[in-house]
Structures are given as structure tokens and as C-alpha cells.
Amino acid sequence: MSRVHPTKKKGEDSMSKEKVKEQQHQHPSSVLTVWKRSSMSFQGTDGFTVFDHHGKLAFRVDNYSRKSTGITGGGGGGGGVVLMDGAGNALLTLKPQMQVFSMHCPWSAYRGDGSSKSNVGTKPKLLFSMRSASIFNGGKDEAEIFMAGHDTPDFKVQGCFRRRNCIIRDSTGAIAARIARKKVNKTVLLGDDVFALMVQPGFHAELIMAFVIILDRIHVKPFTPFLCS
């Protein structure tokens, strides 16, 4: 699995390059502005506000504590981070996995608020898992993402997220998204709390934004309160 196509039809992989270019022209890259919010009044809380190219609120993550853990593998317990749309509807719930002696800081993602309200007694359905890449890969990859049921990475993050300079590629090597510093003009850059997220056609913006949230949790700055599960 390489891309996440909600309406992908049989035979689409054999489309001509001209047809692909035509579709990309009709559905250009989604350019989002991500604002990382921090609360100075209560240590350990932060969140995200994401706007589309029209300035409309697209996604948000309200304040949450980095010290909220207590997660067990399989999606139980508290401490999850909920990605919401602009209206406040839960899209994805992201939870750290409790793994002793793990250096990868693995996370899991589930649809909605992860509560399985419609299926009482069952566990939320896993969408993907994400982890920090191995330190033995030469520093090429920052993180790896595995869609549910896959044992090889479907996406890889390359570059440096802390510097807001990285690329997310799918398993074919195609670029799914770019993260870059936000420019006021050709010469002035904003601080790293505001950055651009450019999602390529054919990839879900909410999925890519979920990757960004987890990157923020597993690649933190030295002064940021943090507890890795």
C-alpha cells in the first residue's frame, strides 16, 4: 500500500502520465498553515491550529499534556491526542504505545475519538502505527509509518522536523507531503511555531496532519516537557 485513495478504481495504476498531470492540475496540492500553540501558564500543554489556503480553520488539536500517559497497547486508557476538524469533530485519536526498553517511541492511530461507542466491549480499530526510525539507518529517515496489517513502512519521513524541513514519502518513493518554514516574503521566515504543510494530490490531509502531530511528540526540543512511552 502506498497511497490512501478513498475512491481508487481498478486500473488506475496504469493511467497515462498525461491523465495524471491533468488530475493534478484539477486537484492541486493542499497548502496548509500549521500553528503550534503553547501554553506558558501550565507547563506541558500545547496544541495545533491548522488553516487552509483560504484562511479557514481546517484542523485543530486543543491543549493536551505531554505527561498524560497510562496507555496500554491496543488503544485503551487515557493520554490520547485527538485530531479534530474545524468544527471540533474527532477525526483521529493518536496514542503512545507502552513498550518497555523501546527506543522508537511508537504511536498508534485510531478512527474518531477511539472510544468504540458503537461496538461496546471491542477495541478501536487500528488505522496506522508510527515510530521513530532506527538510529542505524544513517540518519536518512526520521520516522516510519505502517498502515494497519503491514509489516513494512508505507510512509517514511526524511529530513529534520525540528527545523521544519522534511519530506514524507510513500512506499514507492513518491512525495506525499512537505513540511517547510513559513515565509512572509522571499526573505523573511516566521519562527518554527508556524510552518507550511503541503499535501500532494491523492493523499488525505488529515492523515498527514496526524503524522505531523506524532512527529512533534517523538522529536521534541530539549527544553520541552516530555515523557516517551
Report the predicted TM-score, pTM, of the whole model to 2 decimal places.
0.74
Distances (CA, A) of 72 to 100, 128, 217, 228: 11, 16, 17, 13
Query: 167-218: per-residue pLDDT in tens?
Result: 999 999 999 999 999 887 777 777 888 999 999 999 999 999 999 999 998 8
Structural domains in the chain plus CATH codes:
27-218 (2.40.160.200)
**What single-letter DSSP state applies at residue 143?**
E
The pLDDT tens digits for 66-75 are 544 433 333 3
pLDDT tens for each residue of 42-91: 445 568 999 999 999 999 998 665 544 433 333 333 457 899 999 999 99
Strands (DSSP E) found in 3-71: 30-38, 45-51, 57-65
pLDDT tens, 114-134? Answer: 665 544 556 778 999 999 886
In this structure, the number of other CB atoms found within 10 A of the CB of residue 100 comes to 5
Look up residue 189 and give its amino acid.
L
SS3 25: helix
